[in-house]
Amino acid sequence: MIEIRRIQPDEAPAAKRLIYRVAHVIFNDQRPLEESIAYHESRHELKDMDDTQKNYFENGGIFLVMEDEVQIIGTGAVRQLEDKICELKRLWLLTEYHGTGLGYRMTQELLSFAREKGYKRIRLETDQSRQNRAFEFYKRLGFYEIARYSDNQDDVAMEMIL
């Protein structure tokens, strides 16, 4: 049975590992998985997940995990960017679950949360060339491209009116 729930503090390492596993496949990383994880951890690319309480729950947001029995199979989060604007973050799902509607289910849960918190817009960043499935998914949901709002030069910024 698939369940979506709040992440527990001790689950952050497992959630990070899931993201690294999925990214390893999507970005076609040729290094062995463990080497890839060590490289990305050394660059602190998921440092916001080291303290989900501070970076999400205390920042007008939430961090959710999707579980199939006892295994975390997906993640998704929302955090405040500015007044009435939040950001969709860390939406990842194990590749064997892609195309099952579970990513949509997680996204709807996060969008409902954002609306309940009173946000008027939600933004995200994604790599259009290497994450084209995600980019097209977001477009189908109603996201549209906007000017970059961070210094991440590789990603496309998108927004949706809630």
pTM of the model: 0.94
Between the alpha carbon of residue 137 and those of residues 7, 15, 68, 96, 140, the distances in Å are 24, 22, 22, 17, 5
The token duo for 109 is 């849960």
Alpha carbon 35 to its chain's center: 22
Q: What is the pLDDT of residue 53?
A: 96
Q: What is the pLDDT of residue 132?
A: 85
Q: Domain tally for the chain?
A: 1
Q: What is the pLDDT of residue 130?
A: 83
Q: What is the pLDDT of residue 5?
A: 97
Residues of the domain holding 72: 2-161
Q: Which residues of the chain fall below pLDDT 50?
A: none
Question: What length does the chain have?
Answer: 162
Digit-coded pLDDT (tens) for 134-148: 999 999 999 999 999
Q: What is the pLDDT of residue 152?
A: 80
Residue 122 burial (CB count, 10 A): 24
Placement of tokens 């989060």 in the chain: 77
Q: What is the pLDDT of residue 12?
A: 95
Bridge partner residues of 78 (DSSP): 62, 88
What's the distance, Cα to Cα, between the start and end of the chain in Å?
30
**SS3 sequence of the chain:** CEEEEECCHHHHHHHHHHHHHHHHHHCCCCCCHHHHHHHHHHCCCCHHHHHHHHHHHCCCCEEEEEEECCEEEEEEEEEEEECCEEEEEEEEECHHHCCCCHHHHHHHHHHHHHHHCCCCEEEEEECCCCCHHHHHHHHHHCCEEECCCCCCCCCEEEEEEC
Q: CA torsion, points 112, 12, 149, 22, in degrees to nearest 10?
A: -90
> Which CATH number goes with the domain that contains 50?
3.40.630.30
Q: What is the pLDDT of residue 151?
A: 83
The token duo for 87 is 């950001």
Q: What is the pLDDT of residue 42?
A: 95
